[in-house]
Structure 1
Amino acid sequence: MLKLEDTYLHKGKRKALVALLREKGIKSESVLDAINNLPRHFFFDSALVSHAYEDKAFPIGEGQTISQPYTVAFQTELLDIKPGNKVLEIGTGSGYQGTILHLLGAEVYSIEYQKKLYEGTKRFLTRLGIEMNLFYGDGSEGLAAHAPYDKILVTAGAPVVPNSLLKQLKIGGTLVIPVGDRKTQAMLRLTKKSQKQIIREEFDGFAFVPLLGKDGWR
């Protein structure tokens, strides 16, 4: 089992990572503070832990990855989390992104498609003392039982925007989702002004693992 130690060296590397993210255009101080305060190396396999503060994505098993820190920061900044926001995360993965949302004061509901990953991350977050609502299932269909949500974040590339996610979003709520083919996606921010009016904004291109499930890739 990986020993959870956060040394001065780790803290120094996080500080340097935050400076890099700021140089790349991340402006939200609350997002940067959360990244600075969360030991990313805790979420890595021991064989890869030395790479934890590189601005790169790394494998976490089951064909999934822990997202590049810039991607985490970019998506989180687009969401504009306010303390107390009820947030649905599609794709729990390692738990790192969800923990960033938690540190920003969100009430996090997170669903993971891969059962082995879900079980391992649930055990790990319990060990860290992070309180999130974790579920195993098809995130492409959202999590209707606990809807509606103030914000929804999708951490895998979707072929289209699932209607089920828009339905589970509150009026005035925000959905951030990468949409495209299996290799590259555009980051979209969809703001639900009314049941019939959705404001769509498109941002930089990214490369995510595919969103699997009924309303994703099969």
Structure 2
Amino acid sequence: MTTPLKLAPRAVPGVGMTGQRAVERLLQRLREQGITDERVLRAIGSVPRHQFIDEALASRAYEDTALPIGRGQTISQPWVVARMTEALIERSLPKRVLEVGTGSGYQAAVLSTLGIEVFTVERIDELLRDARRRFRQLSLDIRSRHDDGRLGWPEHGPFDGIIVTAGGAALEAPLLEQLAPGGTLVAPVGGASAQRLLRLRREGDTIEQDDLGAVVFVPLLSGVQ
């Protein structure tokens, strides 16, 4: 059975560099860089990225680049969001996904737009409050929590998919424990200068691992702010 794509409504129509032409140019660039899953491209095209960044940066919203969102954090490059999403759903569309590192809320919005039930954890309260406001504006039903994301969200586990949007030196054991049988985890792993995007799939008692290439993410930190 095919799950229909749930399109996120745009609360404010974009104009100029936030309009439809800018979105189409971004989608074309993503295709040129190897993103082939049309579900992912439609989701990227339907989520208004300019609403997830500061108004002063809105003219750059549909550039394929990471942008600052405050507190030393960034909204990920659209290609990275698309690649991680594509890797997560390649075999099948997960029903329930845990995101570690809400940030601006953009990655969670893309996942929710695909019809996935999203649980997201953020350690910085200010960022989470802003993300929640955006979720309400876009009528996205996303569950969120202010906590140390390295611990996951065990009360709602196990999850069919886990996506980590900050880089750690190693994969956190609690996250692996919350990955359901047959589930997929996508995360950047390594030091600040040598991170690799890894995909892990739990198959019975074993875990298969794929290296999806070099990436650069902000560090995965402990505690809450």
**TM > 0.5 between the two?**
yes
Shift of 1:5: 2.9
Question: Structure 1 stretches of 5 or more lacking a match?
Answer: none
Structure 1 residue aligned with 2:176: 166
Distance in 2 between residues matched to 1:188 and 1:83, nearest whole Å: 18
Within 5 Å, give how 1:93-172 maps onto structure 2. Answer: 93-172=103-182
AA of the residue aligned to 1:182: A
Could you tell me which of 37, 49, 73 is aligned with 2:58? 49
Distance in 1 between residues matched to 2:16 and 2:138, nearest whole Å: 19
Q: Is structure 2 residue 67 aligned with structure 1 residue 58?
A: yes
Distance in 2 between residues matched to 1:107 and 1:132, nearest whole Å: 7
TM-score by length of 2: 0.90
Structure 2 residue aligned with 1:27: 36
Distance in 2 between residues matched to 1:96 and 1:78, nearest whole Å: 17
Shift of 1:115: 1.0
Aligned alpha-carbon RMSD (Å):
1.5
Q: Is structure 2 residue 13 aligned with structure 1 residue 5?
A: yes
Distance in 2 between residues matched to 1:84 and 1:158, nearest whole Å: 24
Following TM superposition, the consecutive aligned residue runs of length 4 or more in structure 1 with deviations greater than 4 angstroms are 81-84
Shift of 1:44: 1.4
Could you tell me which of 202, 206, 211 is aligned with 2:211? 202
Q: Is structure 2 residue 98 aligned with structure 1 residue 88?
A: yes
> Cα deviations across residues 18-54 of structure 1 (Å, max 9, x unaligned)?
0100000011010001111111111110110100011
The answer to whether the 8 A contact 1:154-1:177 is kept is yes
Distance in 1 between residues matched to 2:55 and 2:135, nearest whole Å: 17
2:150 alignment partner, SS class: helix
The answer to whether the 8 A contact 2:51-2:134 is kept is no
The answer to whether the 8 A contact 1:157-1:180 is kept is yes
How many residues align? The count is: 211
Structure 2 residue aligned with 1:181: 191
RCO higher in structure (CA 8 A, sep ≥6): 2
The answer to whether the 8 A contact 2:94-2:161 is kept is no
